[in-house]
Amino acid sequence: MNKKLLERIKAIQKLSKDGVCGEKESAKAFLKRLMKKYHITDADLKNEETDWVWFKFDGEYGKRLFFQICSMVITDADAKFMDKKKHGKIYKMALEVTSAQEIEIKYVFDVLKDSFKKELELFYTAFVHKNHIFSNAAVKESKDNSTLTAKEIAKIMGMQKTIDKVHINKAIEYEDKP
C-alpha cells in the first residue's frame, strides 16, 4: 500500500476522533469511504511499525518548540533519538517514530511554529512601544499601521500592560538640532 495514502488516511482517522462538531462527522464518513475504496482494514491503520525520520527546525525557540511537541506526541519513556546536527541556525534530529507520530509531529510543529512567529512579532511590537524605542521622526513618518488588525492592536495593547518598562539613565546627553 502507498505510504503517503496510508499517512493521509491515518490523519483523517485522527481527525475523526479528535475533530470538533461537523468536522468529526465529515472525517468519519470520508474515512469509511477511503477504507472501502482502498480495501484498508482497522488492523492496517493500527500498524505501529517504527522508522528513523529526520526532522529539521531552526533557532533556539524552534528547538525548544520541537522538543515540547515531541514530548507531547511520543509518550513512550524509551523514545529513541539520534544525535542532532547543527548547521548554522538549522538543527536536524532523527527520531524513531511510527508514521502516525511523524505526521502528527510535522503537522503540529508547522502550525505552532507559524503561530509562535506571529505572537513573537506582536510581543516585539508591544515591547518596542512600551519602552519607547523609536525616534520621534519615525513616529511622525510612520502613519501606516494598516497591516495590523484591530484584534492584533488590542492584543499588543494588552501585552504592553504586562511588560515591565525598562528605565535607562542616559550616559550622554544630546542636543536637539533644529
- pLDDT per residue, tens digit, the chain (178 aa), is 566 777 788 888 888 888 887 888 888 898 888 888 877 777 667 766 788 888 988 888 998 999 899 988 887 666 777 767 777 788 888 888 888 888 889 999 999 999 999 999 999 999 999 999 987 665 554 545 568 999 999 999 999 999 999 988 877 776 766 5
Dist. CA 114–CA 85, nearest whole Å: 23
Residue 21 falls inside a structural domain: yes
Domain span holding position 144: 120-162
pLDDT at position 156, please? 94
pLDDT at position 118, please? 94
Closest CA to 12 of 39, 34, 38, 31: 31
Residue 29 falls inside a structural domain: yes
Query: Does the predicted TM-score (pTM) go above 0.85?
Result: no
Residue 129 falls inside a structural domain: yes
Residue 18 falls inside a structural domain: yes
10 Å CB burial of residue 169 (0-12, 13-18, 19+) is exposed
Partnered with residue 165 across adjacent β-strands are: none
10 Å CB burial of residue 122 (0-12, 13-18, 19+) is middle
Domain count of the fold of the chain: 2
Residue 111 falls inside a structural domain: no
Residue 73 falls inside a structural domain: no
Dist. CA 91–CA 139, nearest whole Å: 38
Contacts of 91 (CB under 8 A, 6+ apart): 56, 57, 58, 62, 63, 66, 84, 85
Dist. CA 63–CA 9, nearest whole Å: 29
Residue 176 falls inside a structural domain: no
Residue 56 falls inside a structural domain: no
Per the CB < 8 A criterion, the answer to whether 15 and 24 are in contact is yes
Per the CB < 8 A criterion, the answer to whether 84 and 91 are in contact is yes
